[in-house]
Structure 1
Amino acid sequence: MSNDADDPIAAARDRSPLLRSYAEQYGESTPFAGLTVGVSAPLTPHTGLFIDVLASGGAEVVATGEAGSTHGEVVAWLREQPGVTPLADAGMSHEDLVGARRELLEQEPDLLADDGAHLLSIVHDEFPDVAAGVRGACEQTTGGITRLRTMDDQDALAFPVFDVNGTPMKQHFDNVHGTAESSLSAITSLTDAMLAGSVAVVAGYGHCGRGIARKLRALGARTVVTEVDPRKALSALADGHDVQPMAEAVTDAEFVITATGRYRVLRREHLDALADGAVLASIGSAIEIDTGALADEATSVEQRGPGVERYHFPDGRAVTLLTRGQVVNLSAPDSDGNPGEC
């Protein structure tokens, strides 16, 4: 484990005492000796530290990333670590990343650590023989767990999957506070906009949506929640937020933030209702905002800066899309995802 001043995961390591302790413990017990672990996750310093701990425990780790959130310096550092093979580079296209996931699965991993169920979907659909040899996996996102529960209901899972997203610390600390704080930091950094007094629409009132809605309200924003689950919608109302359907909520919105992990919750039918000047961002997954419909409806797209695109519509309205609809706290320039304490 390097302590070099240029080590890109040094800050994450300093703020992660539990992972440091596991690295020391696993360095002696080597519980992963003889095992290959496949990792698909945003290759941020935090993921780099996770991979380093696995390698400390004797694992051969093969890792790939996510579009828009691969840190080149982390990949370069991982390439120098024994027992680690990164199959990613900063700026890789979605097609290249899918190819890298297939290449990872061709290594016949024993264990899988996933973010968004990307590996787990492909291994079941395209590599059934590999899936038969996988001992187990873990998934850390709401959207990924939703997909896997559907597969489980259909008796389609070939091996056990641990629901990291369902753990109390992930739900009540990482999702509620870590995602909210890092996402708001990315949004305000990209837009240079003041939240106080703004109308902010939050799509979804799960743990991530609840966390960011509460923090927006604490900062003085007028918060509106859209939620299809009536119990969660009632919870949002009881917490002091206005609750409206998406088509109504976006008419006055200055910020529209999706936090569902679901497919196209902000879609073509909502575009005509969007307020002029609205800022759109996802904190849940890259599938929540229908970026294709935005491109189809726009007469022109203006690149305002890294991670900031301005879409101009025929009626004179314009809206701003952050980080191409990818997860904003991972894809914004200089963003590392959730704080290291999470």
Structure 2
Amino acid sequence: MLLDVGGYFAPALEHLAARFSGRLLGVVEDTQNGHQRCQRLDKPPVPVYSVARSPLKDPEDYLVGQSVVFSTEALVRSRDDILNGRPACVIGYGKLGRSIAAMLHSRHVGVTVFDIDLVRRVQALSQGYRTAPALADALAGAGLVVCATGNMALREEDFGRVANGAYIASVTSSDDELELSALHDLSTPAPLSSRTSPATRAPATTSTSWPTAKRSTSCTARASAPTSCSSRPRSSPRPPELMSTSGLRFGLPRSR
């Protein structure tokens, strides 16, 4: 039996089933992200048992939401900033999104929720959160954006709506939530300033220097601790009056 956390074996499942023919009984998938990857398989060669949507995972998802906000706040504070007074946008109001919104609210952070599912937006509204009918509306005015969809929350065209100095966080793997190729085309990595303390610095950390570009920071927050954080510039500069103050960035709000 193969235990997968994130669906990383899904692309190679057919090869593994052939390699261990008669020995591989099936796959147990633990996460919603992995559940979606397994669903993309036309016909899995072995049974796939997903516990991602089991009620037994609800307590764990709630704790994961706590951990994500804790790690996010640690990154923000490591850059001499605080969450208070920084409006937040939560993209995705599933089990993790609900927990994250609740944790941010408990820290007196104003939360706007966007979900493509109208029923979930109504649920968020009934629980006291501001909701937006479109992603662009949700991003407008946000200084912190948390992606909790597991399915490409932000694409190239969305980054232009993210404000200078906002923070972007990905709950799941960043390549699943963010169109990273669009960011790579806009920046040139450079070593991050040593101002970040070693105790809080993520293992893989880079910053970007682009003289005329806006800056933003994107991070991946895991259940246990943040694993990566990179500061990236905005695309070509636009007049301030045309810039919406939104943000999916965890990091540097000002030039160094």
Q: Deviations over 1:134-166 (max 9, x none)?
A: 112210111111222333xx3x12222222212
Alignment-derived partner of residue 173 in structure 1: 59
State the 1:328 CA deviation.
3.5
Alignment-derived partner of residue 155 in structure 2: 267
Residue number among 123, 126, 131 corresponding to 1:235 in the alignment:
123
Q: Deviations over 1:199-255 (max 9, x none)?
A: 111110110011101111121111011211111122112222222222232232111
Alignment-derived partner of residue 130 in structure 1: 19
Question: Superposition pairs for residues 37-56 of structure 1, below 5 Å?
Answer: none
The whole-number CA distance in structure 1 between the counterparts of 2:29 and 2:146 is 23
Alignment-derived partner of residue 239 in structure 2: none
Alignment-derived partner of residue 112 in structure 2: 224
Query: What is the alpha-carbon root mean square deviation over aligned residues?
Result: 2.4
Alignment-derived partner of residue 247 in structure 1: 136
Tell me the amino acid that sits aligned with residue 148 of structure 1.
C
3-state secondary structure, aligned to 1:275: coil
Q: Deviations over 1:264-304 (max 9, x none)?
A: 21121011111111111111223212222122123665624
3-state secondary structure, aligned to 1:252: coil
State the 1:189 CA deviation.
1.2
Greater RCO, 1 or 2 (C-alpha within 8 Å, sep 6+): 2
Tell me the amino acid that sits aligned with residue 180 of structure 1.
G
Instruction: Flag the 1:225–1:268 CA change in 2: closer, same or farther, 3 A.
Output: same
State the 1:131 CA deviation.
6.2
Instruction: Flag the 1:302–1:243 CA change in 2: closer, same or farther, 3 A.
Output: farther
State the 1:315 CA deviation.
5.1
Tell me the amino acid that sits aligned with residue 25 of structure 2.
R
Tell me the amino acid that sits aligned with residue 168 of structure 1.
P
The whole-number CA distance in structure 2 between the counterparts of 1:185 and 1:221 is 13
The whole-number CA distance in structure 1 between the counterparts of 2:105 and 2:185 is 33
Alignment-derived partner of residue 226 in structure 2: 332
Alignment-derived partner of residue 120 in structure 1: 10
Q: Which has the larger radius of gyration?
A: 1
The whole-number CA distance in structure 2 between the counterparts of 1:185 and 1:162 is 31
Alignment-derived partner of residue 245 in structure 2: none
The whole-number CA distance in structure 1 between the counterparts of 2:117 and 2:188 is 35
Instruction: Flag the 1:327–1:121 CA change in 2: closer, same or farther, 3 A.
Output: farther
Give % identity: 26
Tell me the amino acid that sits aligned with residue 174 of structure 1.
E
Q: Deviations over 1:295-332 (max 9, x none)?
A: 2123665624433544466754211122xxx4444552
Alignment-derived partner of residue 182 in structure 2: 293
* Contact in 2 for aligned 1:199/1:254 (Cα 8 Å): yes
Residue number among 146, 149, 157 corresponding to 1:257 in the alignment:
146
Aligned residues: 214
The whole-number CA distance in structure 2 between the counterparts of 1:169 and 1:257 is 24
3-state secondary structure, aligned to 1:292: helix
Residue number among 184, 188, 203 corresponding to 2:91 in the alignment:
203
Instruction: Flag the 1:228–1:313 CA change in 2: closer, same or farther, 3 A.
Output: farther
The whole-number CA distance in structure 1 between the counterparts of 2:76 and 2:135 is 23
Unaligned runs of 5+ in 1: 1-110, 334-342
Tell me the amino acid that sits aligned with residue 183 of structure 1.
V
3-state secondary structure, aligned to 2:185: helix
Unaligned runs of 5+ in 2: 228-256
Alignment-derived partner of residue 162 in structure 1: 49
Tell me the amino acid that sits aligned with residue 186 of structure 1.
S
